[in-house]
Amino acid sequence: MKPNPLFNGLYVPLVTPFTNDLRLAPDALARLADEALSAGASGLVALGTTAESATLTAEEKQTVVRICSAACRAHGAPLIVGVGTNDTAAAIKSLRELAATGDVAAALVPAPPYIRPGEAGTLAHFTALAEHGGLPLIVYDIPYRTGQTLSADAIDALGRLPGIVGIKHATGAIDATTMELLGCPPPGFAVLGGDDVVISPLVAAGAHGGIVASANVRTADYAELISLWHLGSAAPARKLGAELARLSAALFAEPNPTVIKGVLHAQDRIPSPAVRMPLLAASTSTVRRAALLANSRVRHASTTDRRCSRWPSRSSGTWRWPLWSGAPARGFAGPTVRRHTLTAAW
């Protein structure tokens, strides 16, 4: 029988920063990785959907994994790497290559997308990966991307395989299957929320943590939210959860990770908001709205003040909004949490 879950707390699926001409920005990625872990994330996820992994070259993927591995080693944190393919043999090959590096704690693997092999085929797929891939697996249950839903019985069967250690639950609903899973997960099987807007009620209902794209911004707050629920501090958890749900809704108002990248760029944490096609950059108004929510919570007394002026001021004046993040902005040393200032036109 497997012991208690290996994975709990907050895992941040990092964006992949690009330059304006769409080249990988490795230094910016290294900073984001260090900031997330310094702000309280339990670990990182590389090459997830948020990383635009489908548009990265093989060489770029290796660079991303190498950078994230170095950050996780420095912080003593686990690295999870996304492996998404509907070819079982190719997935096994990718898993073996990752396992050979010795730096990857687990792979995040969706049900085979698009071809919809059915529940029996999906179970056979994951069984083969668990037996031959050489890495612990976290099943990524996201039916609105894969085209098929995993039943409670299928999840239970997967959770009892020795090589499968958890699930990222991103079904778009908290339904009977969700509650059955949270009420009695297989031994040693981590249930990690994957729908950002409802991460608070998922953890309240028993999820061990979450893989939360929104935590690219306000990392410390998302880590605190999960900790509050685990400590049984319901009142502050509900209040913070409602606030972060509004932020997550704003960050997903356009296709992920376009708005997140826009906000990170406004905070001067990545060199460009650029995304690769078929994604298009988020609109200025959407990014502005999300940026204000991303930076609206006062957490501590100011230690550093920095003005950010991505948005043009109007002749009637500008508003300076306190901008907080769970990690330092580029170029600052000192305490993890610090104050900046967002100058935005209203």
Q: Is the peptide bond before 278 cis (omega within 30 degrees of 0)?
A: yes
pLDDT one-digit tens code per residue, 81-94: 999 888 999 999 99
260 Cβ contact partners less than 8 Å away, ≥ 6 residues apart: 15, 50, 213, 214, 216, 217, 251, 290
pLDDT one-digit tens code per residue, 163-213: 999 999 999 889 999 999 999 888 899 999 999 999 999 999 999 999 999
C-alpha–C-alpha distance, residues 165 and 154, integer Å: 14
Active site (catalytic) residues: 140, 168
Pairing verdict, β 164-169 and 209-211: unpaired
pLDDT one-digit tens code per residue, 28-42: 999 999 999 999 999
Q: Is the peptide bond before 201 cis (omega within 30 degrees of 0)?
A: no
pTM score: 0.85
